[in-house]
Amino acid sequence: MSSAPPERRGAHRLAASPSAYLRSASEQPIDWHPWGPEPFALAARTDRPILLDVGAAWCHWCHVMDEGTYSDPEVARLILQHFVAVKVDRDEHPEVDRRYQRQVSALTGQGGWPLTAFLTPAGEVFLGGTYFPAQDAMGRPGFRRVLKEVARIWREEPGRARENAGAIRAALARIEGTPPSAPAATTAFVAQVRDHIHQSYDVVNGGFGSAPKFPHPTAVSFLLWEAFAHGDDTSAARASETLRRMVDGGLYDQLGGGFHRYAVDEGWHVPHFEKMAADNGPLLGVLVEGARRFGDARLLEAIAGTVGWIRGVLGDPAGGFAASQDADNAPGDDGGYFTWSRPELKAVLAPEELRLVSRVFGVGADGRMPHDPERNVLYRLQTLAEASEGLSLPAGTAESVFAGAVAKLARARAARPPPAVDRARYANLNGALVRALVPAARLGGDALALEDARRAADVFLRTGFRPEQGVAHQLGPDGASGFGHLDDQAEFALGLLELAGATLDRRYLDAAEAILAVVDREFPDATGLLRDLAPGLYDGPLVGALAEPTYPLEDSPHLAANAAVALAHLRHAALTGRTEGVDRARSLVAALVPRVGGAGLFSAGTALAAGLLETEAARIVIEGTDAAAERLARAAEGAWHPNAWVFRGIPPAPFTLPEELVGQSGGREARALICFGTRCLPPVTEPAELSRVLLRGGRSSTP
């Protein structure tokens, strides 16, 4: 085995990377390689194992490991001497992250970021974990000790390393060969998922599971569908409570809008502070659903705040949206930008403002930071009415005093050094944001949000879309890259369909149809399931574990790509009246059900698609041009139905409508023409009745 390490060239390799995460590591004393064939060839040539680090610009513990462990001179010396080091941005290369998370999880039972894996030169994991300090600490083995032991095993017990790799391979084969049991009937599967979701519901705090508490927006969408389809008041109440608890909690940024990644506690008080497009798109979408269903003003506030954060922080002047905002604004920081001490609040607010804000935002209560109880996460502990009781505020001024105080705090916080934003533009994330921004714009009459969505779609269609290949994963300084990813196609198609329905612009529909055709042609395997990569389209290097097919079947916790494709087909069918999308969705759901039957909460996306297959889509045409027609249009946009499209007047082809509806149209009076599937109802002229008709799904009463 060669012991002569190569000269360090890591800074040169990473400094010009399009990835902010890789660029930030370019000054570390590690001979980092980006993902590609070169490090694998070097490992094979020198008979050294590969050290794989997978992380992201938004990842707090990745920064901790970079700043502490990978900056340690002894760690650097050991890596340089014994390993070939590869650093991967999981947002830039989700296909790499997906495969190595599976392998490490099969070995250790857990995954996450940073992902730290030791690979054979062929790319198979034989040891791995997540965060390691440089020296033993926090009950974790120090990386110095880990590196020495791994190097010893590779040098003295090479058979053990390859045996571990083989055991992981066998474990994954067993998992793939023994899918979870599921009911044969789709209806029984949906009922099983419903039961699992309710069993995991936190009756005290809302949401699902315990600490750490992640949002599960798709599960909330499923509960809303369940309440609609079966008149289940418990499902509706739990969906409402979950949404309200999230927007009142520290998970939601009470000053700047938008949602943090997850809460470290069960009560949503203290978040992990990174703010990601991956979370805010789905959460914005389900907030719009909740606001339409429940008419909750607090949800409307959070929608406006989240749209504002997306536009102000993630928006790119060239069009599209950045990937994430970091949790930290300096080495060693942990939420300093987002949290407040009492002296900081006192320095900004007048005495009565401070008393009111402290009560509303629970200062000194459950939002105190565990590592520094003097700092507080702001969350809604009391309503304004509760908080203003006993304060010497003039009658009727609590709302304006509170709004003024919040504005002062927002200005003061804006003067702090903000956490960095990863400006990379990815198709899956932009598609998810477009998909949410369009209904948010329609609900609130926000023309700017609709324009933001259009500009995001347009920049990808202009520079990152090819009709025979679909949409590229990333738009970078050198153009588009990364074709052949299923998640990009699914999310972007969903976003384009929302734009097509809102604007009636044929370009968006044509592009969505081209993408779905690419998915149907290039991604299925022999069972009908969709792989995460299309073998004929993927343009990355097939090194390491990349030749292994994997299948995004379960929500994680956001919508799985297979379920997203099924939903895209259903939305397309409802928009155009063409039934082939329903057939394709039904076939895909039939293939999915046996594979996700035991996933419970994490199969909510598949269960939602299965439920929508049995739910008549709604199409509403608003006629007239006067104030009464405007009121009907607002009612239609503000009403809730799990699969509805609203048009002002008869839309042009190919946005077809049932012949019965077309036959009714043409009048000048203000009225709404409503069809469920091919069944059309008598015209509706009252906004309140329009909302009731949609919520009932055209039934004479709720089920």
Q: What are the domain boundaries of the chain?
A: 10-177, 328-418, 618-696
Residue 487 neighbours by CB distance under 10 Å: 27
Q: Which residues contact 303 (CB under 8 A, 6 or more apart)?
A: 284, 287, 288, 291, 440, 443, 444
Q: Give the pLDDT score at 97.
A: 98
Q: Give the pLDDT score at 115.
A: 98
- Which mean pLDDT values do the consecutive 10-residue runs of the chain (703 residues) have? 46 89 94 97 98 96 95 97 98 98 92 96 96 89 96 94 89 73 81 97 97 97 97 97 98 98 97 97 98 97 98 97 94 91 98 96 96 96 94 90 98 97 98 98 97 98 98 94 98 98 98 98 97 96 94 95 98 95 97 90 97 97 95 97 96 85 75 93 95 89 61
Residue 680 neighbours by CB distance under 10 Å: 21
CA atoms of 231 and 122, how far apart (whole Å)? 55
Helix (H) or strand (E) holding 160: helix 158-177
Residue 445 neighbours by CB distance under 10 Å: 11
Q: Give the pLDDT score at 392.
A: 87
Are the C-beta atoms of 357 and 402 separated by less than 8 Å? yes
Residue type at 536? G
Helix (H) or strand (E) holding 318: none
CA atoms of 681 and 663, how far apart (whole Å)? 12
Instruction: Give bridge partners of residue 620 from the DSSP assignment.
Output: 646, 674
Residue 481, CA atoms < 13 Å, CB-side half-sphere: 12
Instruction: Give bridge partners of residue 679 from the DSSP assignment.
Output: 676
What are the b/e assignments for 75-111, b being 16+ CB within 10 Å?
Answer: bbebbbebbbbbbbbbbbbbbbbbbbbbbbbbbeeeb
CA atoms of 227 and 701, how far apart (whole Å)? 13
Are the C-beta atoms of 327 and 422 separated by less than 8 Å? no
Beta strands in 550-662 (DSSP E): 618-623, 644-648
Tell me the CATH class for 10-177: alpha beta
CA atoms of 498 and 475, how far apart (whole Å)? 22
Q: Which residues contact 356 (CB under 8 A, 6 or more apart)?
A: 384, 387, 388, 391, 393, 398, 401, 402, 405
Q: Which residues contact 90 (CB under 8 A, 6 or more apart)?
A: 54, 55, 56, 96, 97, 113, 115
Are the C-beta atoms of 80 and 145 separated by less than 8 Å? no
Query: At residue 87, what are phi and psi to the nearest 5 degrees?
Result: -115, 135
In which residue are the tokens 């409402």 written? 240
CA atoms of 527 and 34, how far apart (whole Å)? 35
CA 653, chain centre distance (Å):
33
Q: Give the pLDDT score at 598.
A: 81
